Amino acid sequence: MRHLLWIPLVLSLTFLSPLEQSLFAQEKQEDTYSISLVQAAEAGKEIIEIDGRKVLTESYEVKSGDHLWQLLRERGLLQKQNLQDILEVLKRLNSSLANLDLLHPGETITIPLVLSPVKEGKRSILKKQEPPVPLESLKEADLELYTIRPGDSLIKVIKSRYNLDDSVIHDEYLNLLKKLNPTVEDVHLVVPGQKIRFPIYSPQVVRMPLPSPPPEEARPEAVGEQPPAELMAQVAGVFREMGADWLGAGQHFIPLNTGGQVTLNADSFPILNLPHGRRVIVDFRGGLPEKMANLITSNWESYRIVRLKTKDGLREAIGKILSVSSYPKVHHGNEELELPGRIPLRIKADWIIKTEEEGPSGMGRYAVLTLMDTASARTPASLKKLLDEMGIRVVEYPPSGESAEIAASRPDTLKAGSSSREVVEAVLRLAGMSFSKDSEIPIYQSRKSEFNLLVKADFLLIGEGKERIIDLTGLGPEIVSLLKDHQFEVLSLKEEAEPASMISSLLDFVSIPIDAKSHTFLAAERDGSRNISLTVPGFSFSASDGRRIFVPVSPIPETLHSFLSAKGYRILDIGIP
């Protein structure tokens, strides 16, 4: 049973940090704090007083997706030297916050923004604490498990069992008792039936110096060695581009279900907060003890630990982090992803990460991650924006020094008009055809002018030894038959409702070849092994000046107009709704 009794002691005494970290440094900045308090108060904040110090506070209503460390970081509090004091005041201002990692949407919390220094005569409130007592130092200490009875108080029980002065009880013993019993928040409030662990007190044991870490916890690789700054910056840059929250400065506090908390220096152990709730602690040099890592993951299902080796580079680091990220799906470099839609995509990259199940295309959202060399061409910024709107976030790392952009500043687009007549005329001009409009063609005419038959042609084409008529109004079958009897070729477009289909029929009628196969383009000017292929629905033909004309068969975004123009195409805008 002794081992079971000691478990909470590990958590409380090993990981709880002192409340006071920078008292005298704050005293030097008293004027600065006073100015900050007054200025912020004028902006609508509230100043309250706790234990002789003024505290500037902000009331905040928790929203869905909020977490406390994000709120503190947004206000610049995680970098404060007196962060421990701020957290202690925050707990006192918000008695409902039993667990700092659990916020409930709709609840209102009070956030301390600025703490004024402790005034003279009040310093005992934040009295400097003795170093916390490690478990290894107290394994031989004796404990007594006592059940509180009606009429008991902690002071009464302590005095009845141990011969201690009041000063020792209040200055030392009660602090130790609270650490052994995390559920005891107020030493003056206990209830009958409550079980309390009383240490059989020995001042020599409590004040003994801290021992060196046991051999099994020491990692030679981590001794005297700082995490590699360059690699940390690279990993942070990649995941920030992907939309994740990278905490690489300040401190991170992880409450434990059994009492106490783990405090991690984010400079050494950065935290990756992923959008779906997973948190990854990245141990760049294996300096996090195995027992502490197990303690964190056993208390919190959302946490994972990634340990990197000295030889690991950016690619290995990303791979290890993604393996524990709990994204819905991660495709590796040898896998190709095909996404159907209005603009079908085929994607190849170092990693293709499905970040969300739902997305604009109905296929979810993806991050396409490629590690680049400096010479490789990047995806144009405007095209990346278009893909992002389609649910595809393109991450190319490192980003180029200059923002890649589509070469054509303006799309080369020809407005064909909104009516069938305007569309036909635009295509005939592009094809270099000679034509007349609304021409009257005599079919029958008697010598004495007793009768004649004239046919009005919407477009009459004469050339290459042929006479051709393009009919948009709907000539009757008998008239068409008469025209053919007189060696006219007739194309009736009255029934062609789709502009693209009309153009295709027209080009075939005037014997201009059409490239009707799928038009697929690479997003970036590099090989297709790590690139995105876009298939733009439409067909193309050659104009009389040699330019390629692209006719979309469905609406395409303006950005694709510029993209196709940069590829050498002129876009015929046929006003598709």
Sheet arrangement for strand 365-371? 329-332, 351-356, 365-371, 392-397
Q: Model confidence over 75-95: pLDDT tens digits?
A: 888 777 777 788 888 888 887
- 147-156, 229-238, 248-257 — which one is most confidently predicted on average? 229-238
Q: Is the pLDDT of residue 230 over 70?
A: yes
Is the same domain home to 301 and 340? Answer: no
In a domain, 136, yes or no: yes
Asked whether residue 27 carries a pLDDT value surpassing 50, the answer given is no
Q: How far is CA 236 from the centre of its chain?
A: 12
pLDDT band at residue 504, thresholds of 50, 70 and 90? very high
Q: Mean of the pLDDT values across residues 292-311?
A: 90
The domain boundary residue, chosen from 323, 346, 361: 323
What size, in residues, is the chain?
Answer: 577
Query: What pLDDT does 502 receive?
Result: 92
Q: 6 with 141, same domain?
A: yes
In a domain, 72, yes or no: yes
Residues 453 and 503 in one domain: yes
Are residues 341 and 478 located together in one domain of the fold?
no
Each residue of 509-558: pLDDT tens digit? 999 999 988 899 998 888 888 899 999 999 999 999 999 999 998 888 88
134 with 115, same domain: the answer is: no
Averaging pLDDT over each range in 184-193, 410-419, 422-431, which range is the top one?
422-431
Give the 3-state secondary structure percentages of the chain, helix then strand then coil, rounded to 5. 30, 25, 45
In a domain, residue 519? The reply is: no
CATH of the domain at 106: 3.10.350.10
The average pLDDT across 218-243 equals 72
Report pLDDT for 547: 93
Distance from C-alpha of 537 to C-alpha of 396, rounded to nearest angstrom = 27
**Are residues 108 and 242 part of one domain?**
no
Q: Is 101 exposed, middle or buried (0-12, 13-18, 19+ CB in 10 A)?
A: middle
Q: Which strands form 538-542's sheet, in the order they lie side by side?
A: 413-415, 569-573, 548-552, 538-542
pLDDT value for 131: 44
Q: Is the same domain home to 117 and 137?
A: no
DSSP 17: P
Angle between helices 420-431 and 499-509 (to 10 degrees): 40
pLDDT reported for residue 193? 77
Output 406 or 252, whichever has higher pLDDT.
Answer: 252
Could you tell me what percent of the chain has a pLDDT over 90? Answer: 24
Instruction: Tell me, yes or no, whether 231 and 192 share the same domain.
Output: no
Higher pLDDT, 179 or 141: 179
CATH of the domain at 149: 3.10.350
Assigned token pair, 223 = 């001794």
SS3 408: coil
Rg of the chain over Cα atoms, rounded to whole angstroms, equals 38
Q: Tell me if 545 is assigned to some domain.
A: no
Lowest pLDDT segment from 70-84, 221-235, 324-338, 424-438? 221-235
The answer, yes or no, to whether residue 217 has pLDDT greater than 50, is no
Confidence of residue 38 (pLDDT cuts 50, 70, 90): very low
pLDDT at 63 over 90: no
Domain assignment of residue 158, yes or no: yes
**Which of 323, 340, 375 represents a domain boundary (last residue)?**
323
**Residues 153 and 89 both lie in one domain:** no
Q: Report how far residue 55's alpha carbon sits from residue 60's, in angstroms, rounded to the nearest whole number.
A: 16
Predicted local confidence at residue 533, as pLDDT: 93
* Mean local confidence (pLDDT), 441-451: 69
pLDDT number for residue 143: 67
Domain-terminating residue out of 171, 206, 241: 206
**What percentage of the chain reaches a pLDDT higher than 70?**
78
Least confident of 74-83, 191-200, 398-407: 398-407
pLDDT (0 to 100) of residue 201: 59
Place of tokens 């194309």: 491
Q: Which DSSP letter does residue 515 get?
A: B
CA–CA distance, 116 with 36 (Å, rounded to integer): 9
Q: What is the DSSP string of 450-492?
A: S-EEEEEEEEEEEETTEEEEEESS---HHHHHHHHHTTEEEEE
Give yes or no: residues 23 and 120 share one domain.
yes
Q: How far apart are CA 53 and CA 49, in angstroms?
A: 5
The SS3 call for residue 152 is coil
- Structural domain containing residue 33: 19-126
Could you write out the three-class secondary structure of 22-54?
CHHHHHCCHHHHHHHHHHHHHCCCEEEEECCEE
Three-class DSSP labels, 209-267: CCCCCCHHHCCCCCCCCCCCHHHHHHHHHHHHHCCCEEECCCEEEEECCCCCEEEEECC
- On whether residue 262 sits in a domain, the answer given is yes
Does residue 310 sit in the same domain as residue 376?
A: no
Report the distance separating Cα 575 and Cα 252, nearest Å: 56
Identify whether the C-beta of residue 539 lies closer than 8 Å to the C-beta of residue 553: yes
Task: Identify whether 562 is part of a domain.
Answer: no
**How confident is residue 215, by pLDDT bands cut at 50, 70 and 90?**
very low
Residue 574 lies in a domain: no
Residue with tokens 């007739």: 490
- Do 116 and 82 lie in one domain? The reply is yes
Query: For all residues of the chain together, what is the average pLDDT?
Result: 77
Residue 223: per-residue pLDDT: 36
Give me the number of domains the chain comprises.
5
